[in-house]
Structure 1
Amino acid sequence: MLRSKKSLILTLMLTVVFVLAISSSLYAAEKILVIGMNTSPIVSLDPAKAYEFEGSWILDNIYDKLVRFKPGSASEIEPAIAESWEFSDKTITFTIREGAKFSNGDPVDAEAVAYSLKRVVKLAQAPSWVITQFGITEDSIKAIGNKVQITMDKAYSPSLVLSCMTYSVTGTVNPKIAKEHDKEGDMGMAYLTEHSSGSGPYVLVSWERNQKIIFELNKYYWGPKPEIDKIVIVDIPESSSQLLQLKGGTIDLAWNLEQDQIPDVEKTKGLYALSKPQFKLIYFAMNGQNPPTDNVLVRRAVKSAIDTEAIMKAIGGGVIELHTFIPKGMFAYYDGEEVPYNPEKAKELLAEAGYPNGFEITLTVPDYLSTEGTVVKSYLEQVGIKTNLEVIAYTTLLGKYREQGLQMVIARWGADYADPDANAKPFAHCRTTGPEATVKQLAWRNAYANPEMTDMVEKAAFIQDRDEREKVYLELQKKWQSEGAFKILYQMSIQLGISDRVGNFILNELTQTPWELITLKD
């Protein structure tokens, strides 16, 4: 134990010295923003491959997408590298901005945009489904003059398609750079993992894994010139270390703070806290195929037995009440609750279902959600459901979960794009629980097939009228709450600690920040 403490202290001291060295060498001549972040989740900074929140947050600022959300919004779309767009049945035509250049001075044109989208389809990495779900192929993407024409397999809702086009996977790469660094047909993916070739406001200068990532201004950026010359992201895995260095002035922003650290930030002179709801949620689910939770009455009883307010209090707050798969802040959010907390009703439903004395079942949770698991176990047992709590590593849980091998589970989910479809598909789309299923997401993992709800999910994706589309989603959420195999425990929020030096730091519900708008006092 003594050796462990000495090692921790030494690590903290070395990190502080390292950050001080960065600060002293950089602040003197330029405006530098230093961010403390646990960078371990970042696998790649190639827009065709990156699929982590931190990686996407970065990519939004070094690559231009066709369209983007207005700063701070996750619903209002504005032009980016595309100045305008037009839908015609199954076809979208984007008019590409004139005069934009990549960070090396090469022009950004329709050919480059088309190449980048085709590259995503061909490489078929994890995030590629965000655009290929519309039946988009390499052959259906064409550059025609200064326009890019994309043909889908069906006429989808324009708002759905545009929301997906705001995701970082649609970032435009420089074809010349990608081709120059091609290795065995990877279209430059190995090179672009740790280098950049975009037209966004910043350029990736260097990435020393587990140490730091450095970005500097793109002198050719077509938009307003950013105020900050360099942005340095220092790898600081522990939130306690981030808080210490934020208070000490060696970093300007702490990315990974916990809710119980926010009061310390707020009472420290020269610092402020930023809390923002995210399109991420924690949910409880049960197997819809195996007894006894294959019985809708049992599922309603289980959901009636769980007090989500008690769960939010137990974890210390800092989260948002939520009862449906569409989070607050997203289009078509439903604020009702069809199956509220009611332990007496839970007992009645269990008796009606043939389980007057309850039953025994296993609840599996990842180690980082052990508190939630303990609270749920307590409330289930209060109505007679003997609950065996299994706390395991998240990777182990996923292995069992993806094989439909869990009886009950608590896990997390985050929307990939700001449209109800992003969560409707995983939570409510499952026509069959067999291997032939087209969508093998959360409903499938919990072996819960509901063809009627699946029809509603598919129908909503094609409705052109926004109001009519909203009506379908509202009806779907009510049915899902009443009959489904899920109960949402809460919506997550991000907690940041920031120096007063930093101004205009904007964050939306999809964890997007336009770096070019951030200001920094000397």
Structure 2
Amino acid sequence: MKKVMWVSFILAAVLMAGVCFAQPKGELVVLQGAPINATDPAKYNSIPESNFALAVFDTLYLNDEKAIPQPRLALSHKLVNETTWEFQLRKGVKFHNGVTMTAKDVKFTFDRTLDPQTKTFFYPFISTIKEVKIIDDYAIQIITNGPDPILLKRLSFALFILPADLFQEKGAEAFFKNPVGTGPFKFVSWTRNDRMVLEANEAYWDGAPKIKRLIFRPVPEVATKIAELQTGNADVITNIPPFLVDQVKNSPNAVVQSVPSGRVMFLYINCLADGPLKDKRVRQALNYAVDRKAIIDNVLKGSGVQMPVNLTPLHFAYDADLKPYPYDPEKAKKLLAEAGYAKGLKLVFNSPSGRYILDKEIAQAIAGMYNAVGIETDMKIHEWGSYTQILTGKKLQDIGFIGWSLVLADPDSTFVPYFTPESAFSYYSTPELKEKILRGRTMLDEKNRAELYKEIQKDIYEQAPLVFLYQQIDHYGVAKRVQGFQVRGDELMLFNKVSK
């Protein structure tokens, strides 16, 4: 009897160990519409790169699906005074090389990212941070330049913690050829424009991933992505065009997950260069000439919502009383004539292809609408990597199709990069607008801050520095064998709890 009980005990222990300590297994293949162009978080400028970073690195906080910051490498915080925040860090976190993460690594990461020599695209988001002080190995203070009502959201974005000693030993170039973080997956290999291969970090502080190998591949061609999903060569695909949603839904081995996105689509207008686009009437004409409803109904098959500015209802202080520009081609012609372009004008119209849902097709549809009011367009289609270099290098000719994600779910993370002149993304600003935007950064009173942001929205609606289009509704294809994957409105994808 005792022998039977002993054998039963051993068997139960083995089975329990199998449940609690199941080894990662299988391979998950994710197809995104654009390539990963950098492994250095300071150099990111797109969601595909952020999704890679979330797999390999960690931030102090991370926004949940409702854009509420949740503790990650930080355990807790307290506000010492209006400009001083104190954070307790999580103990026992290991980098992929086995070294324990401490406050030294956090300070190093912040110092490097804030250094102007690093030239991070996302400096505008974190420029409120003045310095980081180490209290002890697991406590830091963050000093801000002024009161910062959304500091925790800033810490959820773009500040991925790096190992200080290893980075300084190798140097940036060598380090980012084989990046090391604290995240759920370890870097294996990167073939530019082909694939990024990662493997499970079985010592991950938040539990080992269930997937052994994670692969990101850039596939801008929609038909190819869907074929890969349906044949079992891919597990998750992004940016399914609305007219193909039913095809994927009817597939025997895949489902569609849809979500209203925090991404708003619009056209850049280069207001920096001399010419017709410096005239507000021309910019307003560009807005009146676009039939947004026709684009949403006919091209997007209902997968969009017209927007009056470059925010969405998911953003703090979004002004629901502000209505989108109506489609009024006659008013567009009248404004062009008042600006001295009664006989029309010619603009270069730029667009990526495959980065966003039907980006090229929508750009071409808008070009047709412009032609109808006397605006001749020279259409130029770009590969995504070269397009972002053009945009952030302030080399855009005339107008260009683009989208901006939810980021911090706050107007600050849209208005600062787009409407302050120091930003790499900005093609329009005025001293008055900049002053209001920077004032909003330091207002702790939510009601007053919301009122200011609504005032700013009315300003940019009137000045029309962009052609405001629509909020995107995202459709993802997911293989039925995949468990635990859930789409988010901010387009970020987390895979540490996913299995198949």
1:301 positional shift: 4.0
CA contact (8 A) 1:304 1:345 kept: yes
Is 2:461 the counterpart of 1:481?
yes
Distance 2:224 2:368 in 1: 34
1:94 positional shift: 1.6
Distance 2:24 2:499 in 1: 13
Closer, same or farther: CA 215–296 of 1 in aligned 2, 3 Å:
closer
Find the counterpart in structure 1 of residue 14 from structure 2: none
Find the counterpart in structure 2 of residue 517 from structure 1: 497
2:344 to 343, 354, 359: 359
* 3-state SS of paired residue (1:517): coil
Unaligned runs of 5+ in 2: 1-22, 354-358
Closer, same or farther: CA 52–291 of 1 in aligned 2, 3 Å:
closer
- TM-score by length of structure 1 reads 0.78
1:34 to 1, 13, 28: 28
Give the 5 Å matches for 1:149-168: 149-152=141-144, 154-159=145-150, 161-167=151-157
Which string of whole-angstrom CA distances, capped at 9 and with x for unpartnered residues, describes residues 24-68 of structure 1? xxxxx9532421425862123233434432121021122121111
Find the counterpart in structure 1 of residue 37 from structure 2: 43
Is 2:290 the counterpart of 1:310?
no
Find the counterpart in structure 1 of residue 167 from structure 2: 178
Find the counterpart in structure 2 of residue 240 from structure 1: 223
Give the 5 Å matches for 1:55-70: 55-70=49-64
1:124 positional shift: 0.7
Distance 2:434 2:193 in 1: 43
Is 2:77 the counterpart of 1:91?
no
287-296 or 78-87, which deviates more: 287-296
CA contact (8 A) 2:25 2:212 kept: yes
Closer, same or farther: CA 39–496 of 1 in aligned 2, 3 Å:
closer
Is 2:284 the counterpart of 1:300?
yes
Closer, same or farther: CA 306–464 of 1 in aligned 2, 3 Å:
same
Find the counterpart in structure 1 of residue 110 from structure 2: 117
498-507 or 102-111, which deviates more: 102-111
Is 2:341 the counterpart of 1:371?
no
CA contact (8 A) 1:35 1:252 kept: yes
Is 2:303 the counterpart of 1:321?
no
Closer, same or farther: CA 238–64 of 1 in aligned 2, 3 Å:
same
Find the counterpart in structure 2 of residue 388 from structure 1: 376
Find the counterpart in structure 2 of residue 21 from structure 1: none
Find the counterpart in structure 1 of residue 413 from structure 2: 422
Which string of whole-angstrom CA distances, capped at 9 and with x for unpartnered residues, describes residues 256-299 of structure 1? 54443322210011210123344433323545585655444454
- The alignment-based identity, stated in percent, is 21
Distance 1:425 1:158 in 2: 15
CA contact (8 A) 1:400 1:406 kept: no
Distance 1:69 1:493 in 2: 20
Amino acid at match of 2:413: A
1:105 to 98, 107, 114: 98
1:144 positional shift: 1.1
503-512 or 229-238, which deviates more: 229-238
Distance 2:395 2:46 in 1: 24
1:337 to 297, 301, 323: 323
118-127 or 242-251, which deviates more: 118-127
1:518 positional shift: 1.9
- TM-score by length of structure 2 reads 0.81
* 3-state SS of paired residue (2:174): helix
Closer, same or farther: CA 177–194 of 1 in aligned 2, 3 Å:
same
1:379 positional shift: 3.3
1:472 positional shift: 1.1
1:508 to 485, 488, 492: 488
Amino acid at match of 1:316: L
Distance 2:395 2:43 in 1: 27
Which string of whole-angstrom CA distances, capped at 9 and with x for unpartnered residues, describes residues 359-411 of structure 1? 334252226355334433443454xx421111114347975995577444444
Find the counterpart in structure 2 of residue 228 from structure 1: 211
CA contact (8 A) 1:85 1:92 kept: yes
1:467 positional shift: 2.3
1:477 positional shift: 0.9
1:155 positional shift: 1.3
CA contact (8 A) 2:261 2:490 kept: yes
CA contact (8 A) 2:186 2:199 kept: yes
